Amino acid sequence: MKRDVIVAVSFLLAFLFMAYALVYANVLGLGGAELRPLGEFYLSHSFAHEGLTSHSPEVVTAIVWNYRGFDTLFETFVFFLAIMGAFSVLRLTDEQEKLVKELEAREPHRQMDLIVRAITKLVVIMIVAISASIALHGHLTPGGGFQGGSAMAVASLLLFAAFSKFTLERKGLTVKHTVSAYALGLALILATVLAPVFLYGGKVLEINLLPGEMGLFNLDVGEYLAVTFGFLTVFLVLGVSEWIFKTVLRGEVND
Amino acid sequence: MIELHLIILAIVVSFGFVFSYLAMKEHDLLKALALSSVQSTFFALGFYILAAPDIVLAYLAIAVGAYTALVILAISKTERYEVGE
């Protein structure tokens, strides 16, 4: 352990030396007050490039959608593949799911402290409100569907930890429902992306053809739904206890 | 030309660096996970100083919340201690 501390401190010193050399001695010749050509280009073109704009009055979102719209769309697809991969690796047949339900009913009933439960309820309400404001103001302020959705996933995780998986399932958040909500979010994204092609004869993702900020708002809401319920699906699938999973897979159930 | 925010950035990122090293050396996986989420918190502060608020929002929720929970679920399916060299 002592050796670890020495290594960590020497890393720290090396890093501080590098920071000093870069910032004060200016070894690489970065910095300075003058604007480089790339920065100038972004400053003058960030809100609209050759007439193409996502109608966002906020510069981070404007750059993200005007220059990296396809990138964000493909991130959604990568996330979809990850969720579906986890879902199909851990899938069970209908009979096996029935067995899982029976075995879970037999597990001892445990409960967190009253203080923990009461505070979790309060905090979850606050997180839900914040995540909704991040996601629904995604076209006006920094943040958006993905950020809001991941904050919302944290809220569902808190419920998961302080209460249990069964509380969520009793409230209607079963895997079937979360997957349906995930599909709804993806459908909203796809509809918004393809709407310019079919309605206005434009290109894919040319959301400036849609009236006002509707395109960006729809994408935000779709991504919010997709990320929230995508994460929740994975947590619900992974939340089955390991011994139950093993018992069911081996088929060793004797009543 | 001493700029305060750059000094804070250097301190915060180097703390994150130290915590990521400690997380790699830790054999108790749950402790390593806690150390790695402390590292993420420092990096999130760094992103805030670098004026990337949208990254901060995503990074905090993912790295401290979702990633930690996923790895805890994964650890619960294997063993808590890393053994052997």
Condensed to tens digits (0 to 9), the pLDDT of residues B27-72 reads: 899 999 999 999 999 999 999 888 888 888 889 889 988 899 889 8
Whether residues A8 and A112 fall in one domain: no
Whether residues A90 and A28 fall in one domain: no
What are A142-182's pLDDT values in tens digits?
A: 878 888 999 999 998 888 888 888 888 888 888 889 999 99
- Mean residue pLDDT of chain A comes to 84
Question: Whole-angstrom Cα distance, residue A63 to residue A47?
Answer: 7
Number of other CB atoms surrounding residue A239 within 10 Å: 17
Q: How many domains does chain A have?
A: 2
Number of other CB atoms surrounding residue A64 within 10 Å: 20
- Residue of chain B with shortest Cα separation from A239: B73
Query: What is the Cα A146 distance to its own chain's centre?
Result: 4
Query: What DSSP string runs through chain B?
Result: ---HHHHHHHHHHHHHHHHHHHHHH-SBHHHHHHHHHHHHHHHHHHHHHTT-HHHHHHHIIIIIIIHHHHHHHHHHTS-SB----
What are A170-220's pLDDT values in tens digits?
A: 888 888 899 999 999 999 999 988 888 888 888 887 777 788 778 888 888
A58 inside 8 A of chain B by CB: no
Residue B30 lies in a domain: yes
Number of other CB atoms surrounding residue A193 within 10 Å: 21
Give the domain extent around B9: 4-76
Whether residues A9 and A127 fall in one domain: no
What are the residues facing A52 on neighbouring strands? A49
Q: How many domains does chain B have?
A: 1
Query: What is the Cα A14 distance to its own chain's centre?
Result: 35
Residue B81 lies in a domain: no
Model pLDDT, residue A228: 92
Residue B3: which pLDDT band, with cuts at 50, 70 and 90? Answer: confident
Question: Whole-angstrom Cα distance, residue A170 to residue A172?
Answer: 5
Q: Answer yes or no: is pLDDT of A253 > 70.
A: no
A55: left (phi over 0), alpha (psi -120 to 50) or beta: left
Whether residues A16 and A138 fall in one domain: no
B22 inside 8 A of chain A by CB: yes
Model pLDDT, residue A36: 77
What are B42-54's pLDDT values in tens digits?
A: 999 999 888 888 8
Whether residues A13 and A101 fall in one domain: no
Residue whose C-alpha is closest to residue B68's, from B34, B17, B25: B34
Whether residues A103 and A159 fall in one domain: yes
Cβ contact B72:B32 at 8 Å: no
CB < 8 Å to A150, chain B: 58, 61-62, 65-66
Residue A49 lies in a domain: no
More confident site: A183 or A242: A183
Position A108, amino acid: P
Give the domain extent around A192: 54-250
Query: What DSSP string runs through A201-226?
Result: S--TT-GGGSSTTHHHHHHHHHHHHH
A143 inside 8 A of chain B by CB: yes
The whole-angstrom distance between A201's CA and the closest CA on chain B is 33
Query: What is the Cα A200 distance to its own chain's centre?
Result: 31
Query: Which range has highest mean pLDDT (A54-63, A133-142, A180-189, B18-27)?
Result: A180-189
Of A137, A152, A154, A229, which to mutate for an interface test with B (greatest number of B Cβ within 10 Å)?
A154
Model pLDDT, residue B80: 84
Q: Answer yes or no: is pLDDT of A51 > 70.
A: no
N-term to C-term CA, chain B: 48
Residue B68 lies in a domain: yes
Model pLDDT, residue B32: 93
Coil, strand, or helix at residue A55? coil
Query: Which range has highest mean pLDDT (A9-23, A99-113, A232-246, B28-42)?
Result: B28-42
Whether residues A238 and A157 fall in one domain: yes
Residue A39 lies in a domain: no
Cβ contact B82:B27 at 8 Å: yes
Residue B82 lies in a domain: no
Whether residues A183 and A67 fall in one domain: yes
Whether residues A157 and A222 fall in one domain: yes
Model pLDDT, residue A185: 93
Whether residues A154 and A185 fall in one domain: yes
CB < 8 Å to B3, chain A: 23
Model pLDDT, residue B1: 53
Residue B61 lies in a domain: yes
Residue A11 lies in a domain: yes
pLDDT (average), residues A75-101: 87
